[in-house]
Amino acid sequence: MKVVVVTFPGSNCDQDCHRAVELAGGEASYLWHREHGLAGADAVILPGGFSYGDYLRAGAIARFSPAMEDVLAFARRGGPVLAVCNGFQIACEAGLLPGALIRNRTLKFHSFDQHLRVENADTLWTSAYQRGDVLRMPVAHAEGNYEADTATLDRLEGEGQVLLRYVDARGEPTDEGNPNGSARAIAGIRNAEGNVMGLMPHPDRAMEAVVGSVDGRGIFEGMARYLSGAGAR
């Protein structure tokens, strides 16, 4: 698979995502936000970081980058787009995904390993997992508090668009298990069509046992499987 990682001014996980793709057996390249050209791309990643310093609102300025026009078109054609952390925030601002990510309820930056439960394994992003699997990956953000109106939240739940939920060590969606106050403990979602996934936790930092977890591999491997035609829809 050929995956393009978009680098915005202030992106700082572009290299991590690049490496994650390679560890999953794919081919990765970078696209600077001012440039156009997704020709030949099988998938796109909007990486984590602090595009434009998160000034104004996380992701608010980056979504106007020229490269985003290509990403929007790519997504409209059904191309897979993975939006991690700041990428998730950009995707929401750009309307690729519903809702918004506001300040953590503690007002603090949170950096630690977080437990997540797979809510829907029947998607191109999660096909490598089983429904109910409990994963552990780093979170590192100050604005990961997912908010949307009730109708939207109900639709997300009803349509199986909630892919990952914050849970505690026992796998329960308790209040202590919810690090940032996200509505319904939502950690990761997909769009209605299913080709765009956004999540606050960092699968790109959970690819190797030596750095603490391999639970993120599934997402990149699921993407690879799908692109090779084998994966679930």
The footprint of other proteins (CB under 8 A) covers 9-10, 12-13, 15-16, 19-20, 32, 48-50, 52-57, 60-61, 64, 92-93, 99-100, 102-112, 138, 140, 142, 145, 147-149, 169, 181, 202, 204-205, 207-208, 210-212
Strand partners, 5: 30, 45
Integer CA distances (angstroms), 143 to 38, 111, 183, 222, in order: 29, 12, 13, 27
Alpha carbons 28 and 44: distance in angstroms, whole number: 9
Q: What span, in angstroms and rounded, lies between the C-alpha atoms of 138 and 132? A: 19
Cα gap 2→63, rounded to integer Å: 23
Taking the complex as a whole, the smallest distance from the CB of residue 10 to other proteins amounts, in Å, to 5
- CB-wise, 12 or 232, nearer to other proteins? 12
CB of 15 to other proteins, least distance (A): 7
Considering the complex, state which of residue 169 and residue 192 has its C-beta at the smaller distance from other proteins: 169
**Quick one: how far is CA 54 from the chain centroid?**
17
We find the least distance from the C-beta atom of residue 230 to other proteins, in angstroms, to be 27
**Cβ(189)–Cβ(83) below 8 Å:** no
Tokens standing for residue 40 = 């030949």
Is 4 or 85 the residue whose CB approaches other proteins more closely?
85
Of 43 and 92, CB closest to other proteins: 92
Least CB distance to other proteins at residue 211 (A): 6
Nearer to other proteins, 190 or 202 (CB): 202
